[in-house]
Chain A
Amino acid sequence: MISTREAEPAGQALVPGDDMRRHLPGVEPERRLTDWGRSERVEGFLDRTAGDFLYHYWFRTEVEGIENVPSTGGALLVSNHAGALPPDAPMIAKAIREEHPHPRPVNITVEHFFKGYPGFSMLIPRIGCVPAHPANVQRLLYDEEQLVLVFPEGRKGTEKLYKDRYRLRRFGRGGFVQAAMRARAPIVPVCVVGAEEAAPSFAQLRLMKRLTGLLYFPLTPTFPHFGLLGMLGFLPAKFKIRFLEPIPFDKEGLEHDKALVQTVANDVRARIQENLWDMLAKRKSIWFG
């Protein structure tokens, strides 16, 4: 869900040569929130309850290629995206927490919409979601050297209907590639199979979307007739997550080469798409894998 808006050069060191990273604020151990509003308590609670249940028992997640996620430094995870209330993002974060030899928190980029919607605006930052502003991605990747998860399909991915499953939408305008290049952080493509079937949407109700002010208003097996909680009514599809080989960007200033950005964006998209076809071809059952 990275924003496709081309923004001003963000977070660049203003005086070249001096590393601005030295001046990052220190950690205050008395605090329960990070400067981004992330709460280890809330996150830990959700992780131990809903997270554990969904990951291990409901979706029975299988992970491949976890070693492609670097143990140190910033890295941009780029994934396909689906589902009315997408279960893929928390499952990718959970997979890294469960399977990786050095579990690291993942920052999930989300639409700015959530910051302006009452309720969401309180909860979303607590569980490690960050509005998808290029400056935020730059600060997380370059300055704080963290993992950031983006969905370049953005809303187009979550809006798509069941009949279009596993067909990747346009990858924005390559903003995510520029973000990685600017931060000189590798891109790790991620493929998720199962999310499309876990939360299929059969139609988009435009009028209801307008009335509620939500991003979209899908018709799913459980929503809207079971109310807002119906959004969480995931079907028990088998989840498979595959982390692909990282694409490194070590050179400075690559982001100004528009042609290169587009080439890399298309390449990442093609690699995810191919691997998705491959995973689907090998899948014998939607529910048992």
Chain B
Amino acid sequence: MDSKRILITGLSTYWGGRLAQALERFGEVEAVIGVAADEPQVELERTEYVKVGAQHALLRRVVEAAEIDTVVDSRLVVDSVTTTPAKAHENNVIGTMNILAACGGPDSPVRKVVFKSSTHYYGAQQDDPAFFDETMSRPHPPRTPVERDIVEAEASLAEFAQANPDVTVTVLRFANVLGSGVRTSHIELLSLPVVPTILGFDPRYQFVHEDDVVHALEHAVKHNLPGVYNVAADGVLALSEVAGLLGKPCVPLLPPWGTGLAAAALRPLGAPIPPEMLAQLRFGRGVDNRRYKQAGFRYQYTSRETVLKLAEHLRLDPVVRGAREPYRYEREVEEFLRWSPHVRRAGAPGGGLSRRQLAELQRLLAGYRETAGIEAESSDGAQLAEAEQRAREAEEHAREAEARAREAEASARDAAARAARAEQRAEQTAEALRATQADDRRE
């Protein structure tokens, strides 16, 4: 893994938090730094949080000071129900621009940029192919604000990749995400007692599980994968199939004509149907996920299994909701835990090494191995064998020495025993002498 010092933007988002949790578990990763305008939502062990939005001057300083080699941008808003269109645009287009500005340039330490995008890039239209692959673009320009943002953000990524040919730029386009942790408008839609559909349409849907999303981002950090990749689980389901798996009826609540108006009327009643979802409810979308599989990624769930997982969550949710207290970020506590010398870090007290120390040790070892490897490479096979022989000899010597030490120890113990015995004897004689002397005096 080349990525050792990683910057995650959007640490406060669900994906930023999950990815940080995953990456800090890797020993090879030296530093995980998360930036976001808001505080993190999940508990993190060694990820450092810096409260920075998308101001590129500040980000640039963070990147340079921490010698960041990999930037993962997880902050794209792909669901227009989560925020206002203006804020989403600010975040998606302007934010991406600023982050890329902070990563680019000849003197930047950044070698890799991983960007989380969405298959909304392709839109959903009547004349779409059944499976979009990464080389295809949408047949018509985007009409909804979120789709426009995504297309624009990806355009700036492409521009960045062109301007910085020595930086690996990975763009991952994720299909609709389902899972128990994340909130999306599609999960909300499928949580309703019935699944609303457009009369006369049964669109094709492809999903991806939230764990697969995190693993996919991780995979892009671990490997060198320039280019664009679709990330969507195997299997394209019809919406009626999805409803069947969830055990809910499909109800055509939306008319085929005037759908937008009807959706707007349903919105206050609790049916969260944003404009980019309407196109999907009508035409559906499938993507070709083979390229990322070819790059070595393996999915844990198929689309069907993802929906079944969601069904489990939806059944369990009313029971466990609110049972666990949500995590709250407290800066002082986090800083104490990270930096105080009094904190006993992971492992046994005393002899145990902290995670940080372990990482350092691993790094040193890797460095040592590397230098050793270079030596081995420069010498030929005979020398290598010789070195090995020498090592074996040294080992033998050590073993001999150990044995000798053991012998010496034993003899020392013997000597000590002998000395003790001599002393005892001397004492006895002395006593005997004293006794005879006393006898003599009495006589």
Q: Which residue of B lies closest to A19 (CB)?
A: B294
Would you call A133 and B128 a contact (CB within 8 A)? Answer: yes
How distant is B299 from chain A, measured CB to nearest CB, in Å? 9
Give the contacting residue for A133; candidates B130, B199, B283; CB below 8 A. B130
Would you call B241 and A23 a contact (CB within 8 A)? Answer: no
Counting CB contacts under 8 A, is A286 at the interface?
Answer: no
Distance A13 CA – B413 CA, assembled complex (angstroms): 77
Residues in A whose Cβ lies below 8 Å from that of B200: 117-122
Q: Which residue of B lies closest to A32 (CB)?
A: B241
Of listed A12, A23, A112, A113, residue having the most chain B CB within 10 A:
A23
Would you call A136 and B129 a contact (CB within 8 A)? Answer: yes
Of listed B238, B293, B302, residue having the most chain A CB within 10 A:
B238
Distance A133 CA – B286 CA, assembled complex (angstroms): 13
Residues in B whose Cβ lies below 8 Å from that of A24: 290
- Residues of B in contact (CB 8 Å), total 35
Counting CB contacts under 8 A, is B134 at the interface?
Answer: yes
Give the contacting residue for A35; candidates B126, B199, B201, B236; CB below 8 A. B236
Would you call B198 and A133 a contact (CB within 8 A)? Answer: no
Q: How many A-B residue pairs have CB under 8 A?
A: 102
Distance A121 CA – B128 CA, assembled complex (angstroms): 13
How does the 8 Å CB contact mask read for B172-206 relative to A, with 1 for contact and 0 for none?
A: 00000000000000000000000000111110100
Among the 9-residue stretches A3-11, A151-159, A246-254, the one with 4 or more Cβ atoms under 8 Å from chain B is A3-11
Would you call B290 and A30 a contact (CB within 8 A)? Answer: no
Would you call B133 and A10 a contact (CB within 8 A)? Answer: yes
Q: Given contacts A9-B135, A131-B130, A135-B129, is CB(A20)–CB(B234) below 8 Å? A: no
Would you call A18 and B294 a contact (CB within 8 A)? Answer: yes
Distance A123 CA – B271 CA, assembled complex (angstroms): 26
Would you call A139 and B202 a contact (CB within 8 A)? Answer: no
Counting CB contacts under 8 A, is A163 at the interface?
Answer: no
Interface set, chain A 1-46, CB cutoff 8 A to B? 3, 8-12, 14-15, 18, 20, 23-26, 28, 30-33, 35-37
Interface set, chain B 124-152, CB cutoff 8 A to A? 126-131, 133-137
- Residues of A in contact (CB 8 Å), total 40
Q: Which residue of A lies closest to B244 (CB)?
A: A32
How does the 8 Å CB contact mask read for B279-320 relative to A, with 1 for contact and 0 for none?
A: 000110010111101100000001010000000000000000
Distance A54 CA – B130 CA, assembled complex (angstroms): 30
Of listed B134, B202, B302, residue having the most chain A CB within 10 A:
B202
Would you call B130 and A130 a contact (CB within 8 A)? Answer: yes
Distance A10 CA – B128 CA, assembled complex (angstroms): 12
How distant is A31 from chain B, measured CB to nearest CB, in Å? 6
Give the contacting residue for B130; candidates A9, A12, A31, A136; CB below 8 A. A136
Would you call B130 and A36 a contact (CB within 8 A)? Answer: yes
Counting CB contacts under 8 A, is A115 at the interface?
Answer: yes
Counting CB contacts under 8 A, is B235 at the interface?
Answer: yes
Counting CB contacts under 8 A, is A116 at the interface?
Answer: yes
Residues in A whose Cβ lies below 8 Å from that of B249: none
How distant is B308 from chain A, measured CB to nearest CB, in Å? 10
Distance A25 CA – B131 CA, assembled complex (angstroms): 12
Residues in A whose Cβ lies below 8 Å from that of B137: 8
Residues in B whose Cβ lies below 8 Å from that of A121: 200-202
Would you call A131 and B127 a contact (CB within 8 A)? Answer: yes
Residues in B whose Cβ lies below 8 Å from that of A14: 133-135, 291, 294
Residues in A whose Cβ lies below 8 Å from that of B202: 37, 121-122
Would you call B136 and A135 a contact (CB within 8 A)? Answer: yes
Q: Which residue of B lies closest to A119 (CB)?
A: B200
Distance A125 CA – B238 CA, assembled complex (angstroms): 10
Would you call B238 and A37 a contact (CB within 8 A)? Answer: yes
How distant is A56 from chain B, measured CB to nearest CB, in Å? 31
Would you call B236 and A12 a contact (CB within 8 A)? Answer: no
Would you call A23 and B290 a contact (CB within 8 A)? Answer: yes
Residues in B whose Cβ lies below 8 Å from that of A131: 127-130
Would you call B199 and A118 a contact (CB within 8 A)? Answer: yes
Q: Given contacts A20-B294, A31-B304, is CB(A11)–CB(B288) below 8 Å? A: yes
13 contacts between A and B (CB under 8 A): A9-B135, A11-B288, A20-B291, A25-B289, A35-B236, A37-B238, A118-B200, A121-B200, A122-B201, A130-B130, A135-B133, A139-B131, A139-B288
Which A residues fall within an 8 A CB radius of B? 3, 8-12, 14-15, 18, 20, 23-26, 28, 30-33, 35-37, 112-113, 115-122, 125, 130-131, 133-136, 139
Excluding A26-B234, A118-B201, A135-B131, 5 further A-B contacts by CB distance (< 8 Å) are A23-B289, A118-B200, A133-B130, A135-B130, A139-B288
Nearest 9 CB-CB pairs, A to B? A118-B200, A25-B234, A135-B129, A23-B290, A118-B256, A116-B126, A23-B293, A35-B236, A112-B127
